[in-house]
């Protein structure tokens, strides 16, 4: 079977091949760089040349899918492995064709986690099954999701609470993360993976031009280029003077993959209770909407859609639906 490079209408490279029956197939390589695409093509071909004989259990399906996708989408590999771990623990010994509606309902009950958590894990499982069916022709069952997404979280910090959180951060890297998360509105993974400057001179902190480029889109998650305000610049200058790695967020001479523990500890000391990393992104969006920034402007800043900003944060806008309300007076 011959594999070759192609490009989508969005200019992303993909691997294409024709199966013996004449059906054309393709799979995204997750990059617009031709050199990177060629490297990932070689990895893809090597992985897909393996025989199907080992794919007898969900464990082997998950492992095969993970090994292929972590090479193609390196930034999301850790998240993929994390989500597939409970799937392998609870369903790993079953055959791929034995996982149906009854089994995923049992999984949902036994996991006893937030609906969105279980939904994400089962979506990854279904993606792995479909991928192995497509590539290796294994028998699988389709199944319905036993739950919907959890309600959107609406927790955000006031400016007094944000200052208190910053005061209670025990280390420089947590303090810098808090400032970056609120002043840029970017996701935790984007901030933790940010280099001072990459080899291409694109992704990183552009001191002279006064902005940060958080890099290319990863999977379905866009990343933004945002200006550096004065508060963030002061924090970045301090961090740069003492940095020992290529990454902006570092601790003890190593890049930091996750700030969850340090952020949670700071939140407890600040009397804010349980605080997730995403709350800081919610805070950034809420503050901008409350200050009457347009939904489109906020969406560009956060790297998302205008529709998402309006549906999630629109009610924080002082004038939201006010004109419509005035028409209902009588």
Neighbours of 8 (CB within 10 A): 12
Q: According to the model, what pLDDT value does residue 329 have?
A: 81
Percent with pLDDT over 90 in the chain:
64
pLDDT in tens, 290-324: 999 999 999 999 999 999 999 989 889 888 878 77
Q: How far is CA 189 from CA 40, 57, 195, 315, in A?
A: 22, 32, 12, 27
Confidence category of residue 43, pLDDT binned at 50, 70, 90: confident
What kind of architecture, by CATH, is found in domain 51-151?
A: Orthogonal Bundle (1.10)
Q: According to the model, what pLDDT value does residue 282 have?
A: 95
Confidence category of residue 268, pLDDT binned at 50, 70, 90: very high
16-25, 67-76, 122-131: the lowest-pLDDT one: 67-76
Task: Check: CB of residue 31 under 8 Å from CB of residue 42.
Answer: no
Q: According to the model, what pLDDT value does residue 197 have?
A: 96
Average pLDDT over residues 217-222: 76
Q: According to the model, what pLDDT value does residue 143 have?
A: 96
CA distance 314 to 265: 31
CA distance 138 to 211: 49
CA distance 108 to 121: 10
Would the CA dihedral through 134, 69, 180, 158 be positive or negative? positive
CA dihedral 109, 110, 111, 115 (to 10 degrees): 0
How many residues comprise the chain?
330
pLDDT in tens, 79-95: 788 899 999 999 999 99
3-class SS string, the chain: CCEEEEECCCCCEEEEEECCCCCEEEEECCCCCHHHHHHHHHHHHHHHCCCHHHCCCHHHHHHHHHHHHHHHCHHHHHHHHHHHHHHHHHHCCCCHHHCCHHHHHHHHHHHCCCHHHHHHHHHHHHHHHHHHHHHHCCCCCCCCCCCCCCCCCCCCCCHHHHHHHHHCCCCHHHHHHHHHHHHHCCCHHHHHCCECECCCCCCEEECCCCEEECCCCECCECCCEEECCHHHHHHHHHHHHCCCCCECCEECCEECCCCHHHHHHHHHHCCCCCCCCHHHHHHHHHHHHHCCCCHHHHHHHHCCCHHHHHHHHHHHCCCCCHHHHHCCCC
Average pLDDT over residues 163-190: 96
Residue 30 CA neighbour count, 13 Å, CB half: 19
pTM higher than 0.75, yes or no? no
42-56, 106-120, 131-145: the lowest-pLDDT one: 42-56
Domain map (residue ranges) of the chain? 1-49, 51-151, 159-316
Q: According to the model, what pLDDT value does residue 48 have?
A: 67
What kind of architecture, by CATH, is found in domain 159-316?
A: Orthogonal Bundle (1.10)
């Amino acid at each position: 079977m011959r594999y070759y490079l192609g490009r989508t209408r969005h200019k992303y490279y993909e691997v294409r091949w024709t199966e013996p029956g004449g059906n054309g197939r393709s799979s995204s390589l997750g990059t617009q760089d031709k050199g990177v695409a060629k490297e990932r093509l070689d990895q893809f071909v090597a992985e897909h040349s393996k025989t199907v004989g080992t794919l007898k259990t969900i464990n082997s399906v998950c492992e095969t899918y993970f090994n292929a996708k972590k090479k193609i989408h390196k930034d999301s590999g850790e998240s993929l492995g994390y989500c597939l771990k409970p799937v392998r623990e609870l369903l790993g010994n079953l055959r791929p064709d034995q996982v149906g509606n009854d089994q995923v309902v049992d999984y949902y009950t036994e996991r006893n986690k937030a609906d969105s958590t279980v939904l994400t894990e089962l979506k990854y499982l279904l993606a792995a099954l479909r991928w192995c069916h497509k590539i290796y022709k294994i028998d699988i069952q389709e199944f319905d999701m036993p739950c919907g997404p959890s309600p959107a979280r609406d927790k955000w910090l006031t400016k007094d609470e944000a200052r208190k959180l910053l005061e209670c951060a025990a280390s420089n890297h947590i303090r810098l993360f808090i400032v970056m998360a609120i002043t840029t509105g970017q996701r935790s993974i984007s901030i933790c993976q940010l280099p001072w400057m990459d080899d291409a001179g694109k992704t990183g902190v552009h001191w002279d031009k006064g902005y940060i480029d958080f890099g290319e889109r990863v999977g379905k998650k866009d990343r933004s280029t945002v200006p550096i305000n004065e508060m963030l610049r002061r924090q970045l200058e301090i961090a740069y003077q003492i940095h020992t790695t290529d990454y902006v967020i570092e601790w003890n001479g190593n890049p930091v993959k996750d700030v969850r523990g340090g952020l949670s500890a700071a939140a407890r000391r600040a009397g804010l209770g349980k605080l997730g990393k995403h709350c800081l992104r919610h805070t950034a969006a809420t503050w901008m909407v409350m200050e009457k920034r347009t939904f489109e402007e906020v969406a560009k800043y956060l790297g998302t859609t205008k529709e998402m900003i309006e549906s999630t944060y629109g009610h924080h806008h002082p004038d939201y639906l006010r004109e419509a309300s005035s028409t209902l007076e009588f």
